[in-house]
Chains A and B, each alone.
Chain A
Amino acid sequence: MASQLKVDTLTGVTTAGSIDVTGEGNSTTTNLQQGLAKAFIIFTQAATYVDHNSFNVSSLGDDGTGLTTINWSSAFSTAYYSSTIGIGEFGVTYRNIPALGITSNSSRTTNLLKFHSQTTGQGTADTPDNSVTIHGDLA
């Protein structure tokens, strides 16, 4: 029988922040909280930044050509979270490569992530349709 649960908040019984979901194989379970993306954004770097769509992002900071700070609305528990990235096309002549900042460990903290858009042969460049998705532990 089909069923529908109407609820605003799901909370674990044993541990408030831990709910298991049965996986596709009908036996193994996966953790709901750990599997959910905690933040995402699609944005364009330009003279005026454009936040096309986002979740858990409070603001974008322009740190110079190709360099962006993404500030989180709800902070993470540590600076160690999984951040996967995508990038739009800058020009057909160049290969476009996104990165999570440059060198310094300060490029990722509990409150922000620094995004670096680079193009081969051209150094940093403002690019369109950059995307970031975050999985990890919220504070």
Chain B
Amino acid sequence: MASILRVNTLTDASSNNSVPMATVASGSVKAWADADMTGTAGLDDSFNIASLTDNGTGDFTLAIANDMANGAYAISFGFQNQSSNLDAHIRLFSDGHKLAATVQCQKMENNSATDGDTNTVMIAGDLA
């Protein structure tokens, strides 16, 4: 049977390692994704991501399943290089593309948009 526990603080049985529920809620990542943009673009795995849209080379939009409260959330990235010693990174597509329901990202290598097979994204912040 499903149940709801209403509590302010979690503590281990030895009364150590206390964590307020507010920290559990705010400190938990609200969405993450592992996207493959090579070939037919898709999500290898994800949490709270409804879909991925391929907007062109290196350019993709993630639709967040349960929306964030607004666009003021933290986002961080990881990627795998397609070849060695490249100047590579993932970035927000441009200002105004980090919204409550979607975020648009771009993978760059040597100043050119590039499709990569491992593009990872994590979102922390407040849910709507």
Q: Given that A4-B7, A100-B118 are known contacts, is A80 also in contact with B79, CB under 8 Å in the complex?
A: no
Q: Given that A4-B11, A23-B25 are known contacts, is A34 also in contact with B81, CB under 8 Å in the complex?
A: no
Tell me the B20-56 residues at the A interface (CB within 8 Å).
21, 24-26, 28-30, 32-34, 44-45, 47-48
Contact between chains at A83 and B120 (CB < 8 Å):
yes
Number of interface residues of A (CB under 8 A): 52
Is B88 an interface residue, CB under 8 A from the partner?
Answer: yes
Shortest CB–CB separation between residue A32 and chain B, in angstroms? 7
Q: Which A residues have a C-beta under 8 Å from some C-beta of B? A: 2-8, 10, 13-14, 21-25, 27-28, 30-32, 34-37, 78, 80-85, 95, 97-103, 105, 107-108, 116, 118, 120, 123-124, 132-133, 135-137
Q: In the complex, which residues of chain B have a beta carbon less than 8 angstroms from the beta carbon of A85?
A: 78
Q: Given that A4-B8, A135-B122 are known contacts, is A32 also in contact with B48, CB under 8 Å in the complex?
A: no
Number of interface residues of B (CB under 8 A): 53
A97's partner among B7, B24, B69, B89 (CB-CB below 8 A) is B89
In whole angstroms, what is the CA distance A47 to B23 when docked? Answer: 38
Q: Given that A84-B78, A97-B88 are known contacts, is A135 also in contact with B32, CB under 8 Å in the complex?
A: yes
Is B66 an interface residue, CB under 8 A from the partner?
Answer: yes
In whole angstroms, what is the CA distance A10 to B3 when docked? Answer: 13
Contact between chains at A21 and B26 (CB < 8 Å):
no
Q: In the complex, which residues of chain A have a beta carbon less than 8 angstroms from the beta carbon of B69?
A: 24-25
In whole angstroms, what is the CA distance A22 to B28 when docked? Answer: 11
In whole angstroms, what is the CA distance A94 to B104 when docked? Answer: 28
